[in-house]
Structures are given as structure tokens and as C-alpha cells.
A and B are shown apart, each in its own frame.
Chain A
Amino acid sequence: MSAGEITRISGPVIYAQGLADAGLYDVVKVGKAGLIGEIIKLKGDLATIQIYEDNTMMRVGEPVECLHRPLSVALGPGLIGSIYDGIQRPLPVLKGLSGAFLAPGLAGEPLDTRKKWHFVPSLKEGEPIAPGTLFGTIQETDSIQHRMVFDASVPASTAATVAPEGDYAISATLVKSGEGKEYTAVSYWPVRTPRTFKEKQVTREPLVTGLRVIDVLFPIAKGGSAAVPGGFGTGKTMTQHAIAKWCDADIIVYIGCGERGNEMTEVLTEFPTLIDPRTGRSLMERTILIANTSNMPVAAREVSIYTGITIAEYYRDMGYHVAVMADSTSRWAEALRELSGRLEEMPAEEGFPAYLPTRLAEFYERAGMVTTLEDRKGSVTIIGAVSPPGGDFSEPVTQHTKRFIRCFWALDRDLANARHYPAISWNDSYSEYTEDLIAHWDAIDPSWDTLRSKTMEILKKERRLADIVRLVGPDALPDEQRLILLTAEMIKNGFLQQSSFDKVDMYCVPPKQTLLLACILTFHELAENAIKNGSPLLKISSLPIREKIIRLKSSLENEKVQEGQAVIQEIRAAFAQLGTTAQGAVSA
């Protein structure tokens, strides 16, 4: 361990001398308080260090100790259900140490060292060890089996001893190699290095979120990456929370990066009370929280994103589908900017450092569906919130993020103002995964693609008509075109808009999603025919079935989707009664 001393202090950035043998991105303990920091620049034996904690009253001349290892996370059983700060310190443990307020210089074991886990070995003595070898399993929660696989840093060898089945603490040696290396249930991995896998796969499986506007109009694939940009108050966090609650991933890593403390508390209080519809267990049993709120030190905000994604990759490597919510990547980019400013680097756009796009690319590229070292299939999906200043999407973080994601869910101020949530704009959003996912949706409902494109077509037409209406008023339009406006209104109220407070509507299964659309589009098609046959629009719009369709989203329970078919019959009956020969039917 080499020791140096502080020569300059400038906010969270300090300079230290005497660390010639230190490496870039090594962890250091700074000052008498032993604050955690990271070396970000080396010049001769002068090191530039960013500190992850508050350094008030730190003095020039205080010691700096280099730990000669990069910032790493501890990976092992017990991660699930935890809440950590940006450098994986367990917040509930810190609460025990310093009370409700965080003091600098605290340390806590990220994983519970006393808890005993039931270990089942899957390796016999004398068998070979290599990266990708499974050596045992631990049932971490009722739904998550923790598979302990040797990671890429483990040298090939043979197992000299393997612990028998039984209950062990995480510090207990489970496997001993021929060379005498000991392995416990815990391994360490540097956060800035992506974890190794065999190969990336093309992803054709959707991540079903239960949010209709996403699943049908702008779907995301497992292993994909998406950005949710929106000005303040447009519902970025609400959207992220909704996805974290209902998406069909096995594990959720929620990174609160530079956001509000109360939002993390909300997750902490709400998730344990919610039931995962797929496993029947509490949602907290699949969730890991990284909380680095906006008032916590800025350097730890920069690293929190990496801490989160590394934990996600760890579970991916066991063959799970993990979804990472990063809220918000803009705060992370701003942390980069702040540190870059302290380093007196030459700024590029709007003061952001020139390496911003590189960092964003590296981060989003850690998403993907992969074949793990153990030859299983696992994925990491990244959904990153972006908070553009003034809600202006032309700013650097949004623009650069767009280059590295394939799903763009733009949040719209006008929709949010009308309390239309999720406020995902159907005009500005896009998804490049749609084509890849058709095959998968065909198995659920073959009409998915048709319904989808018809809906988009109507919304597009409506947008054009809305421009005309803005100039001449709706009365000037012929009935066929006013029907488009009427149907678009139904799509918005009865399909796109989804209430996260309504017990039935908060989560929508795929068959119900297509059914709702089928109802609306059947109505549309029959109405079109009716108009052709001379029925006035006013009569059609006042059909009571119209209101029933709009309310169907909250009256039809997910488990009773079949009953919805009756509604389509009702629609047909209603139009038949209208006294017209309505024969057209939607392709469903």
C-alpha cells in the first residue's frame, strides 16, 4: 500500500503526491477520515483524485492511501432487496452508524456477513474449474436461484475441495482450487469493466411492460436499450416506476442517480406491498436499489450508474433477464461535466466534456441479450431517463443518447399538462425493435402488427387533420374525416392513456392490449361503413357502446380477457341496429 499526501483541494477533486505506483482508476482512501476516492488522472507522481464523500475541513498534507485495485462491487447472495448508495454502501447499515443523516467516512459491508445461506454444490472434487463453471446454487429468494459461476478472472484449474451441502455465511470457503485459491459465495468485479460473456445474440423477445403505449406502439426487446426524455413534470420517474413494477424481467436494478430522495423512499415503501403478477411474490424480492440522490456527493453520482449495471450483468450471467432503470442519465452527464470542469478540461458542447458520447456509448452498449460463459441465455435491458434542460431535445445528452439507443419514448409536455399519462408522444417516439418482435407477438395475437399499423395510421391522419382543424374548425370537415378525429380520441382515452392508480388498468396483459385495440378499430371500421351508407356521425358518436369501449380498459380484468370478445359482438349489434348493412370487419 503506497501512501501519499494531499497537495491541493478543490471541491470534490483533490491532488496528491507520492502515489507513483498507483494505477488509473485505483481506489484510494483520502485524509484522516479515510474518505473513498478514485484516481482519475496521473502525471508523474501527482495524482488527481475524485472523492465520493463530503470533504469539508480536509487539509493539505493529510495522507492518501492507494488500495491498488479498481473500484469494485461485491457480488453474491443478498443483493436482492438491498438499497445501496453509489459506491455500494448499504444505506440501512449506514443509518445504524450515523443516524438519519449521512456522515462522511462511513463504511459498511455491502452483503450481510452473518446470514447463512443454504448452499448446494454442483461441482465434485477433482472436476475442472474454468470461467463459466457452475460450482453451486443458493436459493436467494423464492423466485431467484443464485447460480454461482466462476467469472472470467478465475484461472483454469481443478477443484481440490468442495464444501458439502449445508448452510454457510458468505465468507465461508466453498471451493478450493488445486493451487490453493479459495472461493466463497462472494466475488468482486471492477465496475467500469463490462463483465465477460460468450457472445451477444440478436434479441427477438419483447420486454413486456404492461404499458399499452409501449408494448403495442413502441415495443422494446429484452436486451434492448431505451431512452425516456422529458422536461420536468412530464412523468419520467412515473414511467420508470411503472415499468419497474410490471415488466416481465426477472430482476430490476433501479438506479436513482441525482434524483429526489423521496422517490427512492417511495420505491422502498411501495414495492414491498406490491405483488409481482408472475411469481406471486413481493416486488421487492426482485428489486435492487442504488440511491445516489441529488444532495449526495457528486462524484459518487458518476459511479452509481456503473455500480448498478455491474450488478445487473452479474444476474444476467446467471441466465436471468434484468432490466436496469437509470434515472436520470442527465444527472450522470452533469456529474461528468462538473468533475470535468474541476479538472479544467477543455469543454465541448454546453460545457460537457468531449468524451461524453464515448461514455454514453459504453454505458448503453452494456445492454444486450447474451450467451453467458455458462452457455445460458441472459439479458440486460437499459431504460435511461433523460432530463433535457427546458424540455429541449436538441441538447447534447439527448442527442448523443439517441445515437446509442434503439427505442425512444419522448414525453410530451402537452399530454402531461392534460394529465394524459404515460405522456409518451406518439408523434416523436420510435422503436427500432418492432420488426424483430413481430414473430414473437404473432404467437400471442397474429393481428398485432395489423392493429398496430392501423392505429399509427389513424393517429398520423389525426395529426394532419388537427392542423386543418386549428385553422378552420372541425365543422368544415366531412364526416369521414371527423370520424378519424373521433376514433383518435377513443384511442387516446381508451387505449393510450393508462391510470397507474386504477387497480385494473395499472397493468395490462398483452391479449387485453390487442383486444382493446380490436374493439376500437372494429368500431372505426363499422362506423366508416355506416357513414358511407348515410348515417350521420352525430348518431354514431352518441352510441352508448362508444363510452363502454373507452371504459373497457378499467372494467375488463386481465384474467377475464376472453369476456372481452363479447364486446366486439356488442359493437356489431349496435351498428346493425343503426340500420345499416355493416359487413366490414377488422382483420382480427
Chain B
Amino acid sequence: MRGLEYHGILRADGPIVIAEHRENVGFSELVRVRDRSGEYRLGRVVDISEQAIAVQLFSENTGISIDESWIEYLEKPLTFRVGDGIVGRIFNGLGEPIDGYPPIISSDLRDTNGRPINPSARVYPRDFIQTGISAIDGMNTLIRGQKLPIFSGNGLPHNRLAAQIVRQAKVLSGESQFAIVFAGMGIKYDVARFFIDSFEKSGVLSRVVMFLSLADSPSIERLVTPRTALTAAEYLAYEKNMHVLVVMTDMTNYCEALREVSAARNEVPSRKGYPGYLYSDLASLYERAGKIEGCEGSITQLPILSMPNDDISHPIPDLTGYITEGQIVLERDLSQRGIYPPIAGLPSLSRLMKDGIGEGMTREDHRDLAAQLFSAYAYVRSVRDLAAIIGEEELSDRDKIFLGFGDHFEREFLAQGEFENRSIEQTLDLGWKMLSILPESELVRIPPRLIEKYLPRAAEPEAKE
């Protein structure tokens, strides 16, 4: 009952607290536990039987004692208070303001678990977002309402890339209200600071809602952070008709927290000790991106995850890739050669790209150009493997041309400055310039009509259109 504290618990085991059964406790209900020092902790009911109730705490458990603990059941699931005032504020993972300003004044409480979008109410995302980054715009186009994660590794510039996308992202057709929701899970203070500074410099800080659960916050709080953040995003997108870009970092920390709780509950583990429901759980976050009927706004997700040991087949990137609409993969090899952004050409993919590009959206040649670049670059990779064995001199003339193409492609097309903002026309023209290195007969993925129109001829190397 609300306002009523029950005295004592039966067992405390890691983040799980077992208490005696009480009437009228609901599954997934929010719980407040007071310990002997009078400190409050929040938790969630995860299992109820006729004898006992299992509560999973969102914070650490030091100081919880069997006798001197009081539990209050709050008769609601974990909620986040939404209102106009949330934009520009900083909250902790549970949705409590931590920026020193007063709490949000609103009576509008939202269940942080959200509800699944009815598939028949979705609007298929088609609006091209120009990020000004050739590797993304040209090859792995970001679409409004998409969930496109960045697969990175420790020490790679994923934060700089995310900040650059936030800074430069714009939609070609008209301007509208936008907001940025930032969820930091288990990240270091410096990383959070970097983002705050970067938002401030580009003048968008007043449009950002931040949810920070830093590395020194209890790991369990990370389980709630993205849900709270997405609840705020849904409010802004579907009720305030804003275009919301959600940056979530680092999803790996989120998954670790999930594994920790699963282990504490003695669940049967699946791969690498992660629970069998990791897929469903991640989907319940990622699927909250999109656009719905009768509503201007949209939620575009840009989750960042660091691949443990750069292994893309690790359960976290693997399951993420199965849910999200593509992925931007950062490659250590490129980064070490000084190429920024080190976006790996081949494993990166945008599934929504096919319907958001082309005539009327970007340019008619975009699709075929991208296909040809991918195909040529894939061949470059196999030529490089060969060259590593037999030496470059032994390669055929054709292969040598491709090798040259590969170098130019990486140094001129993929690489660009952190503050360089290329328009989509610039990106596409640059792509054609790269292709002009190859013999025309190799361009079998592009219809002759487009080659005729766009391929710069040797006589006029800088010609456009």
C-alpha cells in the first residue's frame, strides 16, 4: 500500500531482495526500500508468489539489513514525469533531476517501459537526414525514424563521430522542431563532459535532455536509464511533434548490468552468460524508434556500443545488429592509419537507405553509385589480401588500378575533417570522382545512362553533372 511501510525483509542477495508476501502487490510495481540510515532506494517487483516477493533494486545494496529495512509499495510501475520543462535538463537514470534545479512540475507520469507501437500504426521512414559525412550519407544513409547503432571499440572515436552527427544532422526538406535525448550508461565523467561541451559549442544544449548514469553510479541503474530516456523521447516526439535524435551510450554497459541481474536471479544463461531474453530486452529499447501515423515527430536512435575485443560476433553487437536497421562499424585498422571517421566500408549498412534515396530525395544516381562503390571496394579488399601474399608488383594491371582506387577512396571519400560538413551533392560527386579511376567497363552496377551523365571524363576531370 502506498504510504505504508512494511518492516523487515527475508533475504538480501546482490541486487535482489526477497520480502514477505503482501496483499495487492503488482508485478513490475515500483518499490521503495528504506534502510537503517534512513536512506531510500528504488526497486521493482520481479517475481511474486503466495509466500514471497522478489524485488530488484536499482541501486546498490550496501547497508540493507534483514531486520532494519522498510519496504513501501508505490502502486505504480517506474514512471517518469514529463512536461515542457524537461528540455535542457539533466536527470539521473531514474529520471530525478541532478542539475541542481527544481523538480519538474507536472502531473503527467509515464510508465518508463512504454508500450509497443502497433505495427499498422507505423509510418515507414523515408526522410533522408544529411549528416555531412560522406561515408554515412553516401554509403549508409541515415533516415529519420531509423535506429542506426555505431559499433565501436575502445579507443576509437565513436564519441567524436556521434557529436559530429548531432552537430551536422539536418533534413533537406524544410526545418522543424528538434530535440536531442542523451542517455549515458556507465560512461565516464569525461565522456559526459565531452558531450555537454560539444552540445554547448554547437548551440544545441538548450534542446538536449540528458540522462546520466555515470560509471560510479550503481550498475543496476543503467537498466532503467535508456527506458527513462526513451520515455522522454516518446513524449517529445509523439506529443510535442518534435524530431528527436536519441544518443545512447554505451549499450555494452547496459547489457553487462542485465547479465549481472540475471546471474543474481539464477537464470539459465545463454551465450557468454547473457540471459536468453537479451534479444527481447534490447528490442524493447530499439523498437521504440520510428514514426507513427497522425504525428509529425519522429524518434531516430543512435546507440553506441563498444564491441568487446572488437568482436562483431559477440552477443551484444550481434543481437543489436539483428534488431537495428543497419550499423555503422568503426574499424581499428582505418583509425590507426589516421583516417577519420574510420567507418568500415563493407560491414556498415543502412537498411532503410534503399527507400530514402534516389530521385526527389537525394539524387537519381545515388543508389547505383553506392552499389558500385561497395562492389569495387569489396574487390579492393580481396586484391589487398592477394597483394599481401604475392606482393604488389605481381598483381595484374587491373588489380593495380583497383588498389589505387582503394587508397583514394579511403583517403578522400571516407576520410574527412571532424568539422567538415559535406552536402549530399558533394558526397555523390566525390564518389563519381573515385569511380573515374576505374576503367568504365568495370562499372557494371550502374546503368550506362547515369555513367554518361555523371562520370567525370578524363578531359574535364572536375566536371560536374
Contacts and interface: CB of A to CB of B under 8 A. Distances in A.
Interface of A: 7-11, 15, 54-61, 83, 91-92, 94-95, 98-103, 231-233, 256, 258, 260-262, 264-266, 268-269, 291, 293-296, 298, 331, 334-335, 337-338, 341, 347, 350-351, 387, 389-392, 414, 417-420, 469-475, 493, 499, 501, 542, 547, 550-551, 554
Contact of A92 (B120, B287, B375): B120
Interface in B287-345: 287-288, 290, 292-295, 313-315, 318-319, 321-323, 325-327
Nearest to A344: B268
A264 B119 contact: yes
B287 A350 contact: no
B50 interface: yes
B453 interface: no
B324 to A, nearest CB: 8
B113 interface: yes
Interface range for B: 35 or more
Contacts of A59: 24-27, 48
Contacts of B399: 474
B277 A474 contact: no
B26 A8 contact: no
Contacts of B318: 231-232, 389-390
Contact of B48 (A8, A95, A499): A8
Contacts, number: 224
Given A10-B47, A233-B327, A295-B288, A101 B117 contact: yes
B321 A56 contact: no
Interface string B24-35: 111111000000
Nearest to A62: B26
Given A56-B113, A387-B322, A550-B444, A102 B118 contact: yes
Contacts of A7: 49-50
B115 A101 contact: yes
A417 B118 contact: no
A347 B287 contact: no
Interface in B133-148: 145
Interface stretch (B168-176, B203-211, B388-396): B388-396
Given A56-B111, A419-B374, A265 B122 contact: yes
B102 interface: no
Contacts of B288: 295
B454 interface: no
Contacts of B111: 56
Contact of A9 (B48, B280, B290, B327): B48
Contact of B325 (A94, A262, A334, A499): A262
B354 interface: yes
B3 interface: no
B49 A293 contact: no
A337 B346 CA distance: 33
Contacts of A338: 276-277, 280
Nearest to A345: B268
B280 A95 contact: no
A501 B353 CA distance: 12
Given A57-B26, A473-B395, A550-B444, 6 more contacts: A83-B120, A233-B327, A294-B279, A295-B283, A341-B277, A419-B375
Given A9-B47, A100-B293, A294 B280 contact: yes
B124 A266 contact: yes
Contacts of B314: 390
Contacts of B100: none
